[in-house]
């Protein structure tokens, strides 16, 4: 069979999970030493170092992409693509406006006012790959939530390729990116992390990149915030006898085509379905331009696991905690309460994973490699910071004074106790 198939027996499915975790480890290259040297050099020498690395790796010094260049790219962009990007941006904006956290305040008791201010970050850097990995949809998925959150300045960095993608620059214009700088690689992350002359330090860095960019973002964390460390893409499909094999096969292949480390896994309660979907995957894959990548992906990390009950498939899905989880069953909503860990859940025959990648509105920047157990998708929350607000009257503080003093003295922090005591002559 094209898609390796195993019967769940308590051990076979655990082996599938182990292989997926090893896949994530295999994706980590031994590049930290090189990246660390670049980061340290940029921190020490600023723009001089940035310019040297940019000329070495990008082929030219960094520069600001003019508004005229962006406007011209927008006009040149295929009208069909431009219309799709505008519609996608509208859907992303609409979805994220619904979930936007806001400043709030309440009075718990007379004289006790408590609350929280919610503000967008001041400055955010968005990394956008260049060349064959130029994805305008990722520009929208990162930039639109940032602007909805109220980020004051959104700076996009992207490699200065010979012909910078019209679609990427069009997406930047549609999303409201404030500045586009032509610079790529580790040097771009380093410049945004520490600041370098006219490239300002940002508060947070988001966006996908190669292994060098991922390592640089990891090292930047702590000096600035980052979104997440992304691993190889993955999809898990739970399907029963009602699922259309042709459609499920197409959905699995849509992830396998990303790269040879991508993982496409089917969980089902029907051996007949597993066999039919495997046959369809092979038939469709051979007709696709990225056949060789798909073949390596499926051979290395594709699998079908057949369970006696779908409830057990849900349990495995929670352990895997996949980036994308499709539920293609007779009544997909009945399984939703059982599914605890996933970046995004797609319910039913007409919610394929690419719907989420491009057009539905929820962000396609999702936790991978099992991190959906504790990470959430990128959203407006990614670009917000929250500050507690506390206001007490004299009477309200006096009512708590003895408790505060008792706890401070318990911790041997006498100055803390005195800070309250002096107000009331205690």
DSSP secondary structure string for all residues of 268-296? ES-HHHHHHHHHHHHHHHTTSTTHHHHHH
User: Are 241 and 273 a contacting pair, CB within 8 Å?
Assistant: yes
**pLDDT-based confidence at residue 32 (cuts at 50, 70, 90):** confident
Q: How many CA atoms lie within 13 A of 324 on its CB side?
A: 30
- Terminus-to-terminus CA distance in the chain, angstroms? 81
User: Are 378 and 227 a contacting pair, CB within 8 Å?
Assistant: yes
**Interior angle at CA 15, CA 13 and CA 16, nearest 5:** 65
219 plus 334 within the same structural domain:
no
Say what the pTM is: 0.94
What's the domain range around 417?
Answer: 393-424
- Among 178, 194, 226, residue at a domain's last position: 226
Residue 95 maps to a domain:
yes
According to the annotation, is 330 in a ligand binding site? no
CB contact set of 252 (below 8 Å; sequence gap of 6+)? 3, 235, 237, 264, 266, 277, 281, 302
**For residue 25, pLDDT beyond 70:** no
Helix axes 136-149, 79-98, angle to 10 degrees: 40
User: Are 77 and 84 a contacting pair, CB within 8 Å?
Assistant: no
pLDDT of residue 12: 86
When pLDDT is averaged across residues 242-254 and rounded to a whole number, the result is 98
- Distance (Å, whole) CA 206 – CA 359: 20
- Distance (Å, whole) CA 237 – CA 400: 55
Q: What percent of the chain has pLDDT over 70?
A: 98
74 plus 187 within the same structural domain:
yes
104 plus 246 within the same structural domain:
no
Q: Which is it for the CA torsion 272, 273, 276, 281, positive or negative?
A: negative
Residue that is written with structure tokens 């292994």 in the block: 211
CB contact set of 400 (below 8 Å; sequence gap of 6+)? none
- Distance (Å, whole) CA 6 – CA 278: 12
Residue 382 maps to a domain:
no
9 plus 56 within the same structural domain:
no
58 plus 96 within the same structural domain:
yes
pLDDT of residue 11: 87
Within 307-358, strands assigned E span: 324-328, 344-347
**pLDDT-based confidence at residue 238 (cuts at 50, 70, 90):** very high
Query: 10 Å Cβ neighbour count for 216?
Result: 30
Report the residue count for the chain: 426
When pLDDT is averaged across residues 396-416 and rounded to a whole number, the result is 97
**For residue 105, pLDDT beyond 90:** yes
Mean pLDDT taken over the chain: 95
Residue 368 maps to a domain:
no
Residue 355 maps to a domain:
yes
206 plus 301 within the same structural domain:
no
According to the annotation, is 53 in a ligand binding site? no
Tokens of 341: 């860990």
Q: Which residues pair with 326 in a beta bridge?
A: 237, 346
According to the annotation, is 416 in a ligand binding site? yes
- Residue 213's nearest CA partner among 205, 202, 204 is 205
**For residue 187, pLDDT beyond 60:** yes
According to the annotation, is 96 in a ligand binding site? no
- Among 194, 226, 258, residue at a domain's last position: 226
* Exposure letters 227-262 (e unless 16+ CB within 10 A, then b): bbbbbbbbbbbbbbeebebebbbbbbbbbbbbbbbb
Three-class DSSP category at 152:
coil
- Distance (Å, whole) CA 53 – CA 246: 48
- Distance (Å, whole) CA 190 – CA 412: 43
191 plus 301 within the same structural domain:
no
**For residue 27, pLDDT beyond 60:** no
Indicate if 324 belongs to the active site.
Answer: yes
CB contact set of 310 (below 8 Å; sequence gap of 6+)? 238, 240, 267, 269, 329, 335
- Among 198, 226, 254, residue at a domain's last position: 226
**pLDDT-based confidence at residue 19 (cuts at 50, 70, 90):** confident
**For residue 30, pLDDT beyond 90:** no
pLDDT of residue 306: 97
CATH code of the domain containing 173? 3.40.50.1980
When pLDDT is averaged across residues 57-79 and rounded to a whole number, the result is 96
Rg (C-alpha) for the chain, rounded Å, is 25
Residue 378 maps to a domain:
no
**For residue 122, pLDDT beyond 70:** yes
214 plus 326 within the same structural domain:
no
**pLDDT-based confidence at residue 1 (cuts at 50, 70, 90):** confident
Check 257, 323, 326, 353 and give the catalytic one.
323
According to the annotation, is 364 in a ligand binding site? no
**For residue 24, pLDDT beyond 80:** no
Three-class DSSP category at 145:
helix
116 plus 60 within the same structural domain:
yes
**For residue 21, pLDDT beyond 80:** no
Three-class DSSP category at 115:
strand
Lowest mean pLDDT segment, chosen from 10-14, 314-318, 414-418: 10-14
pLDDT tens, residue by residue, 339-386: 999 999 999 999 999 999 999 999 999 999 999 999 999 999 999 999
pLDDT of residue 116: 98
211 plus 277 within the same structural domain:
no
Question: What phi, psi does 381 have (nearest 5°)?
Answer: -60, -30
pLDDT of residue 20: 80
pLDDT tens, residue by residue, 273-329: 999 999 999 999 999 999 999 999 999 999 999 999 999 999 999 999 999 999 999
150 plus 268 within the same structural domain:
no
Residue 411 maps to a domain:
yes
**For residue 195, pLDDT beyond 60:** yes
Residue 104 maps to a domain:
yes
Domains contained in the chain, number: 3
According to the annotation, is 258 in a ligand binding site? yes
36 plus 133 within the same structural domain:
yes
Give the H/E segment covering residue 416.
Answer: helix 414-424
Residue 373 maps to a domain:
no
Tokens of 263: 């993982």
Check 324, 326, 353, 364 and give the catalytic one.
324
């Amino acid at each position: 069979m094209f898609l390796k198939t195993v019967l769940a027996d308590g051990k076979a499915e655990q082996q599938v999970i182990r292989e997926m975790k090893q896949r994530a480890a295999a994706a980590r290259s031994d590049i930290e030493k090189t990246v660390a040297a670049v980061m340290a050099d940029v921190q020490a020498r600023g723009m001089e170092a940035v310019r040297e690395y940019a000329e070495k790796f990008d082929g030219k010094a960094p520069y600001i992409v003019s508004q005229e260049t962006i406007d011209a790219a927008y006009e040149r962009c295929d009208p069909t693509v431009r219309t799709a990007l505008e519609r996608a941006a509208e859907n992303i904006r609409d979805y994220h406006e619904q979930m936007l956290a806001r400043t709030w305040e309440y009075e718990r008791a007379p004289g006790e006012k408590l609350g929280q201010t919610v503000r967008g970050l001041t400055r955010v850097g968005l990394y956008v790959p260049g060349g064959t990995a130029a994805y305008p949809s990722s520009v929208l998925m990162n930039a639109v939530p940032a602007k909805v959150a109220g980020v004051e300045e959104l700076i996009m960095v992207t490699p200065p390729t010979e012909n910078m993608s019209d679609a990427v620059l069009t997406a930047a214009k549609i999303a409201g990116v404030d500045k586009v700088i032509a610079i790529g690689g580790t040097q771009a992350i380093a410049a945004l992390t520490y600041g370098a002359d006219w490239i300002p330090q940002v508060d947070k860095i988001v966006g996908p990149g190669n292994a060098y960019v991922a390592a640089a973002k990891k090292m930047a964390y702590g000096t600035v915030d980052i979104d997440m460390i992304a691993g190889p893409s993955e999809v898990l499909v739970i399907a029963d006898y009602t699922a259309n094999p042709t459609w499920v096969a197409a959905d699995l292949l849509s992830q396998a085509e990303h790269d040879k480390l991508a993982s496409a896994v089917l969980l089902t309660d029907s051996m007949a379905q597993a066999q039919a979907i495997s046959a369809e995957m092979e038939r469709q894959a051979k007709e696709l331009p990225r056949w060789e990548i798909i073949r390596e992906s499926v051979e290395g990390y594709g699998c079908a696991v057949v369970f006696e009950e779908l409830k057990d498939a849900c349990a495995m899905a929670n352990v895997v905690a996949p980036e994308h989880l499709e539920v293609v069953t007779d009544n997909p909503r009945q399984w939703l309460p059982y599914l605890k860990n996933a970046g995004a859940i797609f319910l039913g025959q007409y919610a394929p994973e690419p719907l989420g990648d491009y057009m539905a509105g929820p962000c396609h920047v999702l936790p991978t490699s099992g991190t959906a157990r504790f990470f959430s998708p990128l959203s407006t929350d990614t670009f917000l910071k929250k500050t507690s607000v506390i206001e007490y009257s004299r009477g309200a503080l006096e009512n708590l004074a003895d408790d505060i003093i008792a706890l401070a003295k318990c911790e041997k922090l006498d100055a803390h106790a005195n800070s309250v005591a002096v107000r009331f002559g205690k």
